[in-house]
Amino acid sequence: MKNKSFVINKIKSRAKRGFTLIETIVMIGIFGLAMGAVTTFIIRAYRTQSYTFQQAAAVSEARQGIDTMVKEIRRADDGEDGSYPLEKAADKELIFYSDIDKDGETERVRYFLGSTVTGSKTKTCTSFMDGGSCSVTFSNFFNGTLNSAEVDISTEGDFGWFWESADIYIEGEDMGSICGLHCSDCAGSWQDSRVFDVLEDAQDNNITFEIDSSSQVDPICDWEEPNHSMRGRFELSWEGTSVAGDSEFKKGVIEPVGNPPQYPEEQEEVSILSSFVRNSPPIFKYYNGEGNEITNLPARLTDTKLIRLHLIINVNPERTPHAFEIKSSAQVRNLKSEL
């Protein structure tokens, strides 16, 4: 009974004195840790809520864009210049004609992922033989979808007489001759430039050019390369849509102008539909009247009856929530058949 009374009195005495310095420091430390944990939780919750809101806004924005796109594709029609309703049907780029503003005239409409990029490369080749030939190959020159491509071919050599000429081949196809009446012997400069549209041949990112001289062309010239019979110069230039590292899904519109009507590409008005598209798979897939997917690019333009759309939206791929997928489809009414 005595010990119990002693303990009670000791507790009462400590209560009167208050906490010791060590006890106070410990209590402050515990309180600080608790407040730090609460603050961290609040900040994380705020950031998560903010990111979730951004993701929801991005999804809503992309969904509105797809809804508009579907309506425009369904109304696709011939261009004012007589163009077929579908101009381009690539995995991540679609060009068609449609009266999107209902003004009675069809606009040229382009949906695409990426940025428009232009470029050029030049290569030369030399022959040192009588009636010799030489060739060049361009490979992996562009990452994306080509919209246009052309080559400017010129030559220099023993071409002083009308029977001295050279044949041009693009991917093995004879494209005609160069020089003959239009060149001079060992001119020391490039002559008789010829320009060819090579978009179709360059679509696989690999294209070969060859120049083959007639037997009368002799190795008597010394410009830059001693004792050559002929030199060829090939300047490949292109314009395309690059998707490397790009997450902006865009829409371009060109109004018809002039008489006869034309669609000047420099007048294209481009707007961004979504800045957070993360598609690795195709955005557009194309199907024929039997419901089979069309993978051949030329056949897509002539055989497509149904287009399926697929967008993957994610504001930040490194964080949750995960990517949101939007899918839809559209039948081109003026091309529609039974599916």
The answer to whether 242 and 273 are in contact (CB under 8 A) is no
**Beta sheet of 191-197, edge-to-edge order:** 115-127, 230-242, 145-157, 191-197
For 171, other C-beta atoms within 10 Å of its C-beta total 15
The verdict on pTM exceeding 0.75 is: no
Would you give the end-to-end CA distance of the chain in angstroms? 98
- Residue 87 is which amino acid? E
Sequence-distant contacts of 293-302: CB under 8 A, at least 24 apart: 297/89, 297/90, 297/203, 298/200, 300/86, 300/89, 301/84, 301/86, 301/87, 301/88, 301/89
Whole-number Å distance between alpha carbons of 336 and 85: 12
Contacts of 216 (CB under 8 A, 6+ apart): 131, 158, 161, 163, 164
Question: Looking at residue 338, what is its pLDDT?
Answer: 42
Q: What's the pLDDT score for residue 54?
A: 72
Rounded to the nearest angstrom, the gap between the alpha carbon of residue 158 and the centroid of all alpha carbons in its chain is 44
3-state secondary structure of 144: coil
Q: Which of 279, 292, 293 is nearest to 325 (CA)?
A: 279
Res 336: pLDDT: 54
Rounded to whole angstroms, how far apart are CA atoms 149 and 211?
19
**Per-residue confidence (pLDDT) for residue 121, from 0 to 100:** 96
CA distance 286 to 331: 10
pLDDT reported for residue 44: 61
pLDDT, residue 26, reads 72
| Residues 287, 306 contacting (CB under 8 angstroms) | yes
Residue 57: other Cβ atoms inside 10 A: 12
SS3 121: strand
Q: Compute the distance between CA of residue 238 and CA of residue 144 in angstroms, rounded to an integer.
A: 11
Q: List the chain residues with pLDDT less than 70.
A: 1-19, 21, 23, 38-53, 243-245, 319-321, 336-339
